Amino acid sequence: MRQVFQGARLFDGRHLHRGKALLVEDGTIQAIVDAGSAEALAFGGEVVELAGGTLSPGFLDLQVNGGDGIMLDGSADVARIRRICAAHIRLGATGILPTLITDTPEATAAVIAAGIAAARENVPGFLGLHLEGPHLDARRKGAHDPGLIRPMGAADLELLCKAAAELPVLLVTLAPQSVTLEQIAALAQAGVIVSLGHTDSTAAEAKAAFAAGARCVTHLFNAMSQLGNREPGMVGATLDSDVYAGIITDGVHVAPEGLRIALAAKRGDGLYLVSDAMAAAGTDVTEFMLGGRRILRSNGRLTLEDGTLAGADICLPRSIRYLVETVGAPLELALAMATSRPAACISASGRLGSLAPGLAADLVHLTDDLALGAVWVAGDRVQI
């Protein structure tokens, strides 16, 4: 089957192109050519006429706690992972890292086993796993259960290193207070993407962890030591380093001023968008349970009953729109933060996050007002 996508600007992962057409055959991108050119006409096939807007690579979300009414937890199996992935595909994220927040050793092992099985079954949208905890700093626990936060032991290290060998991607959020530099180095050597988060670290402690092998930071600004004039904290260390960092742009977790500062100050091209979505994603539920605790949904916020933020009520298309319309970021930058940048973070630039010959035609169309218009997975349109 051949398809010619035209009528919208094309974002190739780095730059916007006007007057172009995307040629797709059997779900694989063949070329970007001039719209209406002899090459486009000769290609034949179905013409997918887009009424303006922007056609982008499918979005990639590296922090997704749940969706379609369920959380990733110790009850996880391939069917539940498939359901969460499908929910986020309908929201424009054609690739995600389902994320387990701090839980018991048994739950962690169960989620890893389910993730390995999902990878073997090639579940659409499944990129790997993100384990956010339990090796965190209780002083910056956020909505994590402090009773389950604990230091990393030898058995934990062994489990994670083995999991990294069997999963396509394993991202682990930890705090320097709960691990040693030697453990960080061992995880990185095993292929784990080590991300610092939920930590009250000094800038020096953070940079020592970066030097040991940590190369990412989880939801910049949230649940971490802040930038001060004499102690730059985790935020300052992140902005002053070339590490990758996820950030939530829902108008709740980080003020517009903070987002503008981060965009201007961050070294390198590592800042990318995450939704930190919970079970409510893709549903109209007003509350759900998280580890036996009630989560309330109201006015774009998800909170514990005491008001503590518990994930975010956002999807990546809405995150992009907020970043462009409220923060004032260029559209190219906002789109890169949802495509090529997260792809680079998980070392998948050669197969995800861009429009290039040989890559799967996982596509998202945003309308002129940056609303989600359509989604395709390997050239097949998804019902959204």
Cα gap 84→86, rounded to integer Å: 5
If phi > 0 it is left, if psi is from -120 to 50 it is alpha, else beta; for residue 191 that is: left
Rounded to 5 degrees, φ, ψ at 93 are -95, 100
Q: Amino acid identity, residue 97?
A: L
Give the burial class of 199: count Cβ atoms within 10 A of its Cβ; 0-12 exposed, 13-18 middle, 19 or more buried: buried
The first and second tokens of residue 53, run together, are 């807007």
Helix (H, G, I), strand (E, B) or coil at 379: coil
Residues 33 and 39 sit within 8 Å (Cβ to Cβ): yes
Our answer to whether residue 276 is catalytic in this structure is yes
Cα gap 125→328, rounded to integer Å: 30
DSSP string, 200-240: ---HHHHHHHHHHT--EESSTTTTBPPP-SS--HHHHHHHT
Helix (H, G, I), strand (E, B) or coil at 79: helix
Cα gap 148→106, rounded to integer Å: 12
Residues 375 and 5 sit within 8 Å (Cβ to Cβ): no
Q: Which of 12, 276, 313, 362 is catalytic?
A: 276
Active site residues per annotation: 276
